[in-house]
Chains A and B, each alone.
Chain A
């Protein structure tokens, strides 16, 4: 047991947070919710668990934030534990319910506030606490040392040259057009993701660089309720981009990193106007532009024949506005595209969002239960391939594949594109010229 949890509740800290967050929005939302229950049907937790009324978005807020305000923060550890179970175990802050509420009440923002309050009392899922320590010590969620990161990059540049001649993976190149940032899981577990991106950049002739600090665009403290640390994490990335003088920060195929960099990050980092200091672009948008402008050409012979579907990551589609781009890309890549229902901005969360994946094994059971909705959506399309431009969606859907025996394969756009793009002769590796 965490020793922080033995301490008495610090009511003053809770009160301070309640008053800090007591915005006109939260005041209005809490007081005008007409308790109509319309939001229930929009939440996949509710749908997945046989419409358990306790999983309706409005109930989750009523049982936590509303109660905290009513009791003016005078709560005990048992209550905080309940808040913890609800705020992390029953909501991925996917924001779907807001579209379905007559008043557009933003449940996700209120659940995030509950998370901050829990965080102030040390009541946070272990898995997220571990990543916070890593961010604090190393600047990335995996605790990877800078040397290891740079080493991985040069190793990947070497490997990439087997496929594409002349690939370089520049680090800290000032004046590049794009500063490309990755999910720390890539250098750690999927270094080929970096290699694939480098191949794409090389073929389109992009001017790009990786940064040596702020290269991890993920922001799990944002989901751990640690707003101060979340602000530092995103600020480190912004600062590096300003220092390198790049035109834009590009985000790898990761959903919440985009949410952090473009939408919540500016507020977390204290930019009052809500704008990041450097424009932010997601790789889904980048790929779409490359294909649209003919900078990447796909070999029609290699288009995917098998039925394929698209997982709209909440933070790329609904919360990132890129559902059209995702589908446009697929027009170049797949012959038999089958959309899920519902899709695009109305898409259901896969169940891996909001920090769920790194929350670890103690949350796995719930993750598999709530993922039933997504599993059924995928099964109904009959697709054999699921494209998911998000690491969390990928992990979750891979787990769902096993749990529900979907018989599918989950792939990223990088993978699909590098395997199918036409490589101009000047980039063909020397070996293949000899053939």
Chain B
């Protein structure tokens, strides 16, 4: 178990971040290459005013008509993503490790806050999951892989929560936590989770297409 731990907190971190960031870059560069010939329509009407507004409104909580019409989902989706970023980035334990390794770290949230945000995140995740199961128009779209990705995104939070509260065999839970988190990072570039980057391009495009060309709002 210790060897496993050593590997995951040493080379494992490097490998997973390398694949995560490198993968996203490779995918984006590949799409950029494809787009040169086949997506002239993206470049011909590019205007960052409209592209920016199209992106910006979807980053705001309930910033779009669509999310305002479905406020429960809108809130769950927003909270889900905020916690998804905030908890791992500003967790005291993560930043302590960072500081030990590099001497620099991000500011940290008090543990009690991170703890609450973790629970909030999991509740939001459950709402998203429940919605997938309950609403026919979402269920019909959802594949086993979609369920897997949603659950898998929650796993680092579940295991992190257990480890923090020392529920279960601490060492194993901690190893599971790190393993899940690193696996998740490596999955992002190759799955629909690549939307973390591609969102900005696809939203910008519809902003150009409907906004620059027609003056229509896309939010």
Contact = CB atoms under 8 A, between A and B. Distances in A.
Interface of A: 21-25, 27-29, 31-38, 40-42, 46, 51, 53-54, 56, 58-59, 62, 95, 98-106, 263, 267, 272-275, 318-321, 345-346
Contacts of B45: 274
Contacts of B49: none
Contact of B198 (A28, A36, A41): A28
A274 B40 contact: yes
Given A27-B34, A38-B73, A51-B136, 7 more contacts: A24-B42, A25-B39, A25-B205, A33-B192, A59-B140, A102-B77, A320-B214
Contact of B195 (A32, A41, A58): A32
B35 A23 contact: yes
A100 B63 CA distance: 11
B26 interface: no
Contact of B66 (A34, A59, A101): A101
A34 B41 contact: no
B137 A99 contact: no
A104 B205 contact: yes
Contact of A345 (B35, B206, B217): B217
A23 B141 contact: no
Main secondary structure of the interface of B (DSSP, over half): helix
A106 B35 contact: no
Contact of A32 (B35, B73, B192): B192
Interface in B114-173: 135-143, 146
Interface of B: 31-32, 34-35, 38-42, 44-45, 54, 58, 64-67, 69-70, 73, 77, 135-143, 146, 192, 194-195, 198-199, 201-203, 205-207, 209-210, 213-219
Contacts of A95: 210
A103 B195 contact: yes
A22 B216 CA distance: 27
B70 A31 contact: no
- Cβ-closest 9 pairs across A and B: A104-B206, A321-B214, A37-B138, A24-B35, A23-B38, A35-B141, A40-B137, A345-B216, A274-B44
Contacts of A32: 192, 194-195, 198-199, 202
Contacts, number: 149
A53 B66 contact: no
A128 B142 CA distance: 34
Contacts of A98: 206, 209-210, 218
Contacts of B35: 23-25
Given A23-B34, A106-B206, A106-B209, A346 B65 contact: yes
A34 B73 contact: no
Q: Which of A24, A38, A95, A102 has the most chain B CB atoms closer than 10 A to its own CB?
A: A24
Contact of A319 (B32, B73, B206, B214): B214
A41 B202 contact: no
A98 B207 CA distance: 10
Q: Which of A37, A59, A100 has the most chain B CB atoms closer than 10 A to its own CB?
A: A37
B199 A103 contact: yes
Given A29-B202, A104-B203, A106-B209, A321 B216 contact: yes
